[in-house]
Amino acid sequence: MKSSVSLNEKGFTITELLVSMTLSSTILLGALFQYVQTAKESRDSQVRIATFLQAQAVVQNLGFELRVLGNGLPFDQANFQIGENTISDPSVTFPFNINTSSSSRVDFRLNETGDVFLLTQDFNPTSQNTIHLTDISSLDLNDPIFISNSVVGGDDGFYGKISGIDTTLNSVTITDKVFSPASIFKTGSLLEEVPMVSYESDSSFSQITRNSGFGPVVIAENATLELEYLDFSGNPVTLPLTGEKIINQLRSIQLTVEVSSDQPLSDGDIHTARVIQRFGLRNLNYLF
């Protein structure tokens, strides 16, 4: 007896299989292409975000220090203000190094540790070179220091460099003294270490460094720093800086930081992030 086979019991024809495989391949290729594109876009987004965050971190770190530059200098003292012409070297009162600060570098004084030391004996800078303190553990040779006697009712300031340290007597010896005329710094006066802090784009504009006296430290690779010094109205203060410009004009600094990604985008281009921000110089308000 012959068996009968219905149309529903027949298998796929070669043509049907080819069509099915073609459709499946097209769908899979489309899904794979979409996955690859999504992966590329995700990676590119990560590169852009990481580069922007690096640029933003440089701006925020430098901006924080600019806001409080001059912290530790006694230039709010009536006899030791910025550019004070009654002392032997008025330049020590400048919160900036006016000889080196430029559009690609800024040098400013700052008590970066926040440490404050109290004098335990009266100090007469005219006749004495030794200062007795509550603690000297974090002080080093060649540290620049400033003293203010405001907390004991004085109007004077003092600048010097540490040339010797006596851990037994908790005292330091000072050279390069510059101080208010006829000043006496009584017990309880405040001493602070105030080094010159530098931020700079190197000559090849390939990195930004920070230096507080121990050598430059790279804080951003493939990066540039641009500084614009501004007056009350936001107009540029022409360089070079001078004591007169610091006193009468300079009130803020605008930072522009550009950082190039360390990895290329999916199309082979290098991404560059730019962050611009302006920072007021708070400590200069003492001069108003």
Looking at the DSSP bridge assignments, the partners of residue 173 are 130, 164
What are the two backbone dihedrals, phi and then psi, of residue 211, each rounded to the nearest 5 degrees?
Answer: -140, 125
Q: Are 281 and 75 in contact (CB under 8 A)?
A: no
CA–CA dist 120, 16 (Å, integer): 99
pLDDT of the residue at 35 = 59
pLDDT of the residue at 243 = 86
Domain coordinates in residue numbering, the chain: 44-73+94-106+197-288, 113-194
Domain 113-194 has CATH 2.160.20: no
Q: Where are the beta strands (DSSP E) in the chain?
A: 105-109, 117-118, 130-132, 144-148, 157-166, 171-179, 190-193, 196-201, 207-211, 217-221, 223-230, 252-260, 272-280
SS3 state at 139: coil
pLDDT of the residue at 2 = 53
Nearest to 123 by CA among 99, 142, 92, 146: 146
pLDDT of the residue at 288 = 38
Amino acid at residue number 211: N
Strand arrangement of the beta sheet that strand 272-280 belongs to: 223-230, 252-260, 272-280
pLDDT of the residue at 287 = 44
pLDDT of the residue at 41 = 75
224 by Cβ neighbours in 10 Å (0-12 / 13-18 / 19+) ranks as buried
pLDDT per position as a tens digit, 217-237:
999 999 999 999 999 999 999
- Element holding 31 (H helix, E strand): helix 14-67
State which residues of the chain have pLDDT below 50: 1, 5, 7, 286-288
